[in-house]
Structure 1
Amino acid sequence: MKIIFTFCLLLFSVIIIKAQDTDEYISEHVECAQELMHDHKIPASIILAVAIHESAAGNSRVAQHLNNHFGVKGPNNNAEIHSAYRDYASDEDSYNHFVEIMETRAPFNSLFDKYDQYDYRGWARGIQRSGYAQSRTWASQVINLVKKYELYQYDDRPADYIEPVHAKPLYHHKKRHVSSRRYIVKAGDNLNLIAKKKHTTVKTIMKKNGLKSIKLKPGQKIKL
């Protein structure tokens, strides 16, 4: 029993060690993110938050087997997993390539003119609008990670920096048009005459009004 318990305890310890904590992930990669920020003027907070989001803080299979922390697709030579994501020689290479994508590919490269290195909200929404992710909540999730782990502290913000106010994107849903037309039955009317006059069918009128008989009464209101 003691041997079994010891084995289970060791197994449990290995699982805990393998699953990286988000704070540990930040500590491990913050220096790289800050260096990239200083060289390329993209917030370290955004680099870290996107990496945390896309790699589950380094715990995803793609991050562990391919060193891919940003969900970048492409060919890989890894035999351990079958994946549509590209592989990197190191975590640092993945970080460098993410910033390279931002700098060299349209429409991401226009973001450097729109946002400064302290405006993590603007960057998150700009990256989403530029097509980095399909999810409408992607930017909000990244921004929430910045706030939750206070990643903005790594952006070297000036003490008097005032965050720009950005309007949240509005998603317009197409409203279904509901007809509100009514017709008042006159003496001598029948469904055939009304259908021809209003460019519809008898069947449609009966269905809209729940009619079981074709008989109508003068003054009766029917939906068209």
Structure 2
Amino acid sequence: MKKILTVCLLLLSALFGKAQSTEDYIAEHVEHAQELMREHQLPASIILAVAIHESAAGKSKIARYLNNHFGVKGANSNTEIRSSYRDYPTVDSSYNHFVSFLHSRSYFEVLFDKYDQYDYKNWARGIQRGGYAHSRSWASQVIGLIKKYELYLYDERPDGYEEKPDPIVEAPAKKSRTAKSTKRSKSSSAKTYTVKKGDNLNKLAERLGTTAASLMQKNGLKSSALQPGQKLKL
């Protein structure tokens, strides 16, 4: 009888451990993350990756006792643990508050105008620059989670969307005629801008210090309508 009981406990333990996997966590919360993405144009991959990072995929103490999946501090009414983190009635409400928190701070709010829902790398770096976390590697860790679990697949990218390559950091070149020549050729090369969702040609021209007519002429545009992902010569 004891052996049977032990086997049952081991099976239950195994099942419980499986339920706590990161893959299962993603499956459980991806639908709500995508709903928030469609409403706010914030990548679902960012929402999920930050939650995974801050809550250990739902296994952290504040996630289990306080439904806090984003490491937000504040008062709580929980009597089971003592914590400086705020509590939420549900996990979804923790997700909702994360997005509203970003909207409520000017240094995060600008990101909604600057980046679209597909540019998870710049979102991660922008949130870090805004002071969301003290760790200098926070953005890299969030981006790493997105790549590891392919969370960008949930961002509903349009067909043919090309992810921007990471900037290549090169060692400073020695001062020479060759270096000067290279510098001149780089500066003379045409600059481009990739259209983001919500861009307006007139506002875009004003932001870039030019005119809509000039942009249309340079790019051979017959209409002022723009498409996300479209590249414009400046």
CA distance in 2, matches of 1:51, 1:16: 24
What is aligned with 2:164?
A: 164
Q: Which amino acid aligns with 2:123?
A: W
What do residues 122-170 of structure 1 show as CA deviations (whole Å, max 9, x unaligned)?
Answer: 101111111001111111111111011110010000122122345489x
What is aligned with 1:79?
A: 79
Q: 2:40 matched to 1:18?
A: no
Structure 1 residue 12: Cα displacement: 2.9
CA distance in 1, matches of 2:99, 2:168: 25
Check whether the contact 1:55–1:62 (CA below 8 A) recurs between aligned residues.
yes
3-state SS in 2 of match to 1:70: coil
What TM-score, normalized to structure 2? 0.68
Percent identity of equivalent pairs: 60
CA distance in 1, matches of 2:58, 2:68: 9
3-state SS in 1 of match to 2:58: coil
Structure 1, unmatched stretches of 5+, are: 170-224
Check whether the contact 1:22–1:52 (CA below 8 A) recurs between aligned residues.
yes
Richer in helix (by share): 2
How well do the aligned residues superpose, as a CA RMSD in angstroms? 1.6
CA distance in 1, matches of 2:52, 2:150: 13
CA distance in 2, matches of 1:35, 1:95: 11
3-state SS in 2 of match to 1:107: helix
Structure 1 residue 113: Cα displacement: 1.5
- State how 1:7-86 maps to structure 2 within 5 Å: 7-19=5-17, 20-86=20-86
What is aligned with 2:110?
A: 110
Structure 1 residue 17: Cα displacement: 3.5
What is aligned with 2:215?
A: none
What do residues 86-128 of structure 1 show as CA deviations (whole Å, max 9, x unaligned)?
Answer: 0000000000000001112121111112211000101011111
What is aligned with 2:191?
A: none
Check whether the contact 1:122–1:166 (CA below 8 A) recurs between aligned residues.
no
- Paired residue total: 167
Q: 2:137 matched to 1:137?
A: yes
- State how 1:72-221 maps to structure 2 within 5 Å: 72-165=72-165, 167=167
Q: Between Structure 1 and Structure 2, whose CA radius of gyration is higher?
A: 1
CA distance in 1, matches of 2:11, 2:65: 21
CA distance in 2, matches of 1:6, 1:133: 48
What TM-score, normalized to structure 1? 0.70
3-state SS in 1 of match to 2:83: coil
CA distance in 2, matches of 1:138, 1:8: 42
CA distance in 1, matches of 2:58, 2:38: 23
Structure 2, unmatched stretches of 5+, are: 170-234
What is aligned with 2:219?
A: none
